[in-house]
Amino acid sequence: MLRSSLSRVSVISRRFFSTQAPAAAQSGSSGTLAGAVVGLASGALAFKLWSEAQVAPVPVVDFQAVRNDIAALLDDDNYDDGSFGPVFVRLAWHAAGTFDKQNKTGGPKGATMRFHPECEHGANAGLHVARERLQTVKDKHPGLSYADLWSLSGVVAIEEMGGPKTPWKAGRADNSKPDTVPPTPQDRLPDASQGASHLRDVFGRMGFDDREIVALSGAHALGRCHTDRSGFKGPWTRAPTTFSNEYYRELIENKWTKKKWDGPEQFEDPSGDLMMLPTDMELIHDKGFRQWTELYAKDEVAFFKDFAAAFDKLQTLGV
């Protein structure tokens, strides 16, 4: 694309600088004056078009190098469970999860979480950590959009933590103005305290069905909740930096009871080490969701396949 653009610029420049002004009229001084005026006009037009063609080309982005740079940022013994991977996945998910298929607003393009009020929305609490961590990659690759960077960071993190490869293509441009933040972003991401109908409303607005909802929920195999971010506390699995079907196995095979504490309603296993959110419990209580939860608990290959497809769909909403 860059090569063809440069070729087009050179053609424009040659064409207008090689065009000759019309010959002056042969009779009288008025013809000479008219010819001069035409010549000046042609020269002015040529200079204008030449000037516009000299815009610096957008730097070419080496996305393999970007992938490598993201991967190099993942491991850190001083952060959470030793990896920024889970928070990168959460950033990619929350940046994309604001999409509304009816009015085509929100979604992974635009990178509007850089602006208020989206960056301050409670569901996005703590994601400044991921955005700041990834800034070094953006600085190193000036032609890279934030929207592509955030999206790719989730894809790379999943792969590096043992998950499936997600088809990914660049092309998410950044919005430059705060007024492009989607309307009511606080209503567009899942509320962990809600039930099955809420999940279907939120994911349905993006165009996902029950199977895709359950598949995307499998990302809860990663990371943990923090009281200073979501209000909830604890990991879903005992391997929070490994992408697997363990989340579904814990849901199906473990025993879950309401946690007795001063925080919001959540559930815990008999050891008290693991937790589930009310929306997680809907995956085993709701008949439509449970069939897919049981499948993924038994078949990790099926889960990986469906997750990769659903996550790819999430990262291309509205693009």
Question: What are the tokens at 84?
Answer: 């920024």
What are the backbone angles phi and psi of residue 318, rounded to the nearest 5°?
A: 75, 5
Highest mean pLDDT: which of 38-42, 71-75, 181-185, 188-192? 71-75
Task: Identify whether 220 is a catalytic site residue.
Answer: no
Calpha distance 56→120 (Å, rounded): 35
Is the model's pLDDT at 95 over the cut of 60? Answer: yes
* Measured distance CA(184)–CA(161) in Å, rounded: 33
236 is catalytic: yes
Q: Tens of pLDDT along 238-272?
A: 999 999 999 999 999 999 999 999 999 999 999 99
As a 3-state breakdown, the chain gives helix, strand, coil percent values, each rounded to 5, of: 55, 5, 40
pLDDT given at position 51: 54
Query: What is the mean predicted confidence (pLDDT) over 158-186?
Result: 91
Mean pLDDT to the nearest integer, 228-239: 97
Give the gyration radius of the chain's Cα atoms. 27
Query: Do residues 102 and 113 lie in contact, with contact meaning Cβ atoms separated by under 8 Å?
Result: no
Whether residue 121 has pLDDT greater than 80 = yes
Mean pLDDT of 20-30: 39
Helices 246-253 and 278-285: angle between axes, nearest 10 degrees: 70
Spatial separation of the C-alpha atoms in residues 254 and 284, rounded to whole Å: 12
What is the rounded (10 degree) CA torsion for 238, 240, 242, 243?
Answer: 110
- Report the percent of the chain where pLDDT is more than 90: 78
24-38, 158-172, 245-259, 267-281: the lowest-pLDDT one: 24-38
- The confidence score (pLDDT) of residue 244 equals 98
Indicate whether 19 pLDDT > 90. no
49-53, 157-161, 185-189: least confidently modelled range:
49-53
Closest by Cα among 52, 61, 5 to 173: 61
Report the SS3 class of residue 257.
strand
Q: What is the pLDDT of residues 57-88, one digit of tens each?
A: 668 999 999 999 999 999 999 999 999 999 99
Q: Give the N- to C-terminal CA distance of the chain in Å, as an integer.
A: 19
Query: Domains of the chain by range and CATH?
Result: 2-53 (no CATH), 63-187 (1.10.520.10), 196-315 (1.10.420.10)
By percentage, how much of the chain surpasses pLDDT 70?
Answer: 81
How many other C-beta atoms can be found within 10 angstroms of the C-beta atom of residue 241?
Answer: 22
Greater confidence (197 vs 5) lies with 197
How many residues are listed for the chain in this entry? 319
pLDDT reported for residue 179: 87
pTM of structure: 0.82
The angle formed by the CA atoms of residues 168, 170 and 171, to the nearest 5 degrees, is 135
Contacts 24+ apart (CB under 8 A), 170-177: 170/61, 170/63, 171/319, 172/108, 172/109, 172/110, 172/111, 172/145, 172/147, 172/148, 172/319, 173/109, 173/110, 173/145, 173/147, 174/110, 174/111, 174/145, 174/146, 174/147, 175/109, 175/110, 175/111, 175/112
pLDDT tens digits for range 258-314: 999 999 999 999 999 999 999 999 999 999 999 999 999 999 999 999 999 999 999
Q: Considering 93, 150, 236, 256, which one is annotated as catalytic? A: 236
Say if residue 10's pLDDT is above 70: no
Interhelix angle 196-206/287-298, nearest 10 degrees: 80
Res. 45 pLDDT band, cuts 50 70 90 = low
Q: Which of 93, 94, 220, 256 is catalytic?
A: 94
Phi and psi at residue 257, in whole multiples of 5°?
-130, 160
- Round the average pLDDT of the chain to a whole number and report it: 87
Residues 137, 70: Cα–Cα separation, whole Å = 7
